[in-house]
Structure 1
Amino acid sequence: MNTRFFHRKAGVQVALCMALAALLTSPLHADGFTVGAPVKCKWQKIGNYYTGKIARRNGNTVFIQYDDGDTETTEIQYCKLIDPNQTKPARNNQNNQNNNQDSSNIKKLEARSSGSDNWQDWSISLAGGKGRLKANGTGQHMSWDIELPGRDVKVLTCIQGSQWWTKWQYRYGGNQLIAEASSLTEWKIDSTYNRLKVRTRWSGDTDQWIVSGKKGEMKVTRNGGSWPSWEIEDNMPGEDFHMKMAAIFAIIVATEMPH
């Protein structure tokens, strides 16, 4: 009998058992939040959930690489594991129909009042008609009345606890978007499954902005002169109308209002 074979086989079995025991008792594997695991996490711990993967983990702290290219360090309590075979829920058909209408294209934005009231009254031209945007209050307590043709938009309000211009909620039809600034020249507009990025076209030039997303770009350019007037080249067919409107608000807040 070849005893060396049996000793070697027994040694391999012991090693496998020890490795399996270590795997089962490891805190990195017990909760499933392992490096490479697909997850959805709350952006900045208070925003909407976005999908990505865990790139690194140290205790309960994880470094997330999001599918849209953004990254952040957060904690596992703000993340959920997702099934790799899980598919995204279908979007609301009514919203898709509205988004595909040419009437949702945004054309022009113009102040209705002077700078004496900090540019709080605006008109906006759409392909299907005109609307009005009017701010109430100032700073942390500011809200907006929004009148748009055929659109159920309620208010845009500052989120309490933030420097007043850095984080906003855009509410419509029971839904909510988040507009968040990393600086006066760079914003992100977040919905449940989508994100737009708003940034100046040239560094230091706040007269030209680009709104970009998966469905194209929207160029927003300020006309010359002291009276605020913006021309909008909307090349985002099929993009969510309210996402684009929230981006417009970000530009107004960043560019026209005192901070």
Structure 2
Amino acid sequence: MNLFKTSTLVLCLGLSACSQFQSQDASTPGAAQADSGKHSWWPFGGTDKADAKAPAEAPKPAVANANAAADKSAGNHWWWPFGGSAAGESAKVEAADKPVPVPSAADNKAWLDQHEAPVRAAVAGSKFKVERRDNALVLTAPVDGSFNPKRPELLLPVTLAPLASVAKVIEKEPQSGVFILGHSDSSGDKATNDKVSQQRAVAIAAIFRLSGLGNDRLRYKGVGSDKPVADNKTKAGRAKNRRVEVMLTPRGNLLPLAQAN
């Protein structure tokens, strides 16, 4: 009998406590929601599991800001190959833009002496011409016979083998770089000339890119008709001006070449 009375008393006390909690939730929903973050009202304790299951607040996306910064960086480096507006590309540009010592005249000569013969052998029998300058071996590709006449961004198959051979010579040495200048004649308007010269530079840069040259070793630029080597008033002169110059050089010369052109 005493056991029955005791059980009844415990049950009544429990029902009374539950009723009190329900009354508080119904009368002050705002307070309940505020307190729910602390779980101070929970009658049976143990909120660790509930906290573990609660989703963490999602971080605010920073993609827009990152892309804006990357676009700004890419805009400043208009000569940089393959561009990019992602934060990752911006990081690559910054890494590749770290100062690299400019080679001395003696270092340039040593590099040229080492690479001139292999480069000439790589393009032997093709339309490509090789010129040795103070700080670079300049490989000149005439547009006529090298590019599709109807698609200026497409190389003809005959040009792929010599370019791939040159890329093999350069890719083996991390301190070697390539700077590419695309040119046009003056027969079109400036916007068209700039565009087509850029497309030609990109087409040849892609061959070196596929050979493994990264952003720190490869740069390109289209200069339109700004740097003619012959008279644009004649057909022969215009043909000479339509060209792509591939400058093979020690990596430390890339930035000076880009700034000078």
TM-score (norm 1): 0.32
- Bigger share in helix: 2
- Bigger share in strand: 1
TM-score (norm 2): 0.32
Based on CA coordinates, which of the two structures has the bigger radius of gyration?
2
